[in-house]
Amino acid sequence: MEVGNTRSYHHGDLRAALLSAGYELARGGGADAVTLRATTRRSGVSPAAAYRHFASHEELQLAVGALAMADLARSIEAHQTGTDDADPAVRARQRLIGVGDGYIAFALDSPGAFDIALFGLFTMEDAFAPESMGDTGRTPYQLLTDAIADLVDLGLLPSGQAQSAAITCWSTVHGFATLATSGPLRRHPRPELDALGARTVRGLVDALLPGYQPSSLG
Amino acid sequence: MEVGNTRSYHHGDLRAALLSAGYELARGGGADAVTLRATTRRSGVSPAAAYRHFASHEELQLAVGALAMADLARSIEAHQTGTDDADPAVRARQRLIGVGDGYIAFALDSPGAFDIALFGLFTMEDAFAPESMGDTGRTPYQLLTDAIADLVDLGLLPSGQAQSAAITCWSTVHGFATLATSGPLRRHPRPELDALGARTVRGLVDALLPGYQPSSLG
DNA sequence: CTCCTGATGTTTACGTTGTTCACATTCGCT
DNA sequence: AGCGAATGTGAACAACGTAAACATCAGGAG
């Protein structure tokens, strides 16, 4: 089988082509732009062909969303680099901040991809899906829980608060990304959103780790 | 003109009927259920009739969303009652907590209405729309900024932090409601979500008002 | 090498959706 | 009383998701 042969009756690797085409469409117009017909059209194939690889339109969207989720993981990883401080507590704190910064930066940079990544909102199992792992082999949710686990190991956070801390962090960052991307803040200038996001993330982390490099929350 | 006369050629008050039918549909299946055809069908009218009252399908959905937003305001107001402590600082703090509790309770009680209330996500102008006001004549956003303004007046919060504090509060509560309603937490049992939400709200408020009745954040 | 089977893509069709346009009906003002 | 504006109808169109019957091709069995 010759991969990428578009001349033959059979495509070669239509599933990958549909995912790629769907991701391009999502970047442009979010999850709603990932229409089954538009995706097959862009892949040079008839609409019904998609049903050989995806059970429904929704499954195609979810698969494209998993790709976007992997890019979200990569954005977080990129914002976690350079945390080479000597103090492990500082490093752990910076890694948690990197999760928030990377999450918000991805939403602001690629609102369409962010939209489909959180489309339909995945279940708890999807939070560990291999397709959604970044370059370090971890999903965005795992990167968050890893950072919090480090804080617990260092004694900076009571272990009993790990789960609810993860939910609070995720809620705050996700809420901000939503408001800034498709909410009332969507018309605000980008630099202002960056500053607001950075302050929100740092305020949240300060609140989680009381007495540690406190800065104002707000 | 006889209002509510469904026998005659003209409906009487079709706009209100469409909004009511649309709201019922939204309660059942969120914004996606508020189809133009389903809404007109339920109102006993042809699809094109809707275009005499709404410029497009999206405008109908936004108008229904404004109704839902007013109910959200009423939920917040209900959670703010009973804040009759003698200490004005305690009252102000409880009013802010009421915003978060009412927001989350509405999302959990009426996920469909919550979905369309935040549908398409309205602009900053919509945050002050009269159609979205509750019984006290204030929109949900105004109830939030009112509570924060009270805290500033009492000297519990620096005035320079009012705007970003509002954004942080909204982000956290909205993010939690989203995750709990249509996100990975959607299958969690209701009492657990209530407890998580209450802890998230109180942790957030504690972080905003440091040193005031602190409880654990997480 | 041939043939057959299963995988994969096409064609056609159906029902649904939002939207428009020409037309019908009715309200309210002169 | 009658006319114009407001409001509802009907038919039509394009786009959508989906299904069924059919066509084509890859790869293994004989």
A172-207 pLDDT tens trace: 999 999 999 988 899 999 999 999 999 999 989 988
B33 close to B113: Cβ distance less than 8 angstroms: no
A216 close to A200: Cβ distance less than 8 angstroms: no
Across chain A, mean pLDDT equals: 91
Q: What is the mean pLDDT of residues B19-24?
A: 98
φ, ψ for residue B104 (rounded to 5)? -70, -40
Indicate the residue of B158, B172, B182 with minimum beta-carbon distance to A172.
B172
Reference A172, options B179, B12, B77; nearest CA is: B179
Q: What percent of chain A shows pLDDT beyond 90?
A: 77
Q: What is the mean pLDDT of residues A132-155?
A: 97
Size of interface A-B (CB pairs under 8 A): 143
**Residue B28's pLDDT is what?**
97
Q: How confident is the model at residue B111 (pLDDT cuts 50, 70, 90)?
A: very high
**Residue B104's pLDDT is what?**
98
Cβ–Cβ below 8 Å for A183 and B207: no
Q: Using CA atoms, how far apart are residues A97 and B123, in angstroms rounded to an integer? A: 29
Q: Which residues of B touch A126 (CB under 8 A)?
A: 184
**Residue B181's pLDDT is what?**
93
- pTM of the predicted protein model: 0.91
Does the pLDDT of residue B210 top 90, yes or no?
Answer: no
Q: How confident is the model at residue B7 (pLDDT cuts 50, 70, 90)?
A: low
**Is the C-beta atom of A121 closer than 7 angstroms to strand D?**
no
- For chain A, the maximum distance between any two Cα atoms, rounded to a whole number of angstroms, is 66
Least confident of A44-58, A155-169, B99-113: A155-169
Q: What percent of chain B shows pLDDT beyond 70?
A: 93
**Residue B2's pLDDT is what?**
39
Q: What is the mean pLDDT of residues B5-16?
A: 76
Residue B34 DSSP symbol: -
Q: What is the mean pLDDT of residues A30-50?
A: 97
Residue A110, CB half-sphere, CA atoms under 13 Å: how many? 23
pLDDT digits (tens, 9 = 90+) for B125-168: 889 999 999 999 999 999 999 999 999 999 999 999 898 899 99
**Token code pair at residue A94:** 């910076």
A5, closest nucleotide (Cα–C1') = D25
Q: What is the mean pLDDT of residues A101-120?
A: 95
End-to-end, the C-alpha distance of chain A in Å comes to 58
Residue A51 DSSP symbol: G
Which residues 177-206 of B have a C-beta within 8 angstroms of A?
178-179, 182-187, 196, 199-200, 203-204, 206
**Is the C-beta atom of B9 closer than 7 angstroms to strand C?**
yes
**Residue A181's pLDDT is what?**
93
**Is the C-beta atom of A11 closer than 7 angstroms to strand C?**
yes
pLDDT digits (tens, 9 = 90+) for B60-84: 999 999 999 999 999 999 999 987 8
Across chain B, mean pLDDT equals: 91
Amino acid B125 CA to nucleotide D13 C1' distance, rounded Å:
36
Q: Using CA atoms, how far apart are residues B44 and B33, in angstroms rounded to an integer? A: 17
pLDDT digits (tens, 9 = 90+) for B24-56: 999 999 999 999 999 999 999 999 999 999 999
Does the pLDDT of residue A7 top 70, yes or no?
Answer: no
B45, closest nucleotide (Cα–C1') = D8
Beta-carbon contacts of residue A16 (< 8 Å; ≥ 6 apart): none
**Residue A209's pLDDT is what?**
86
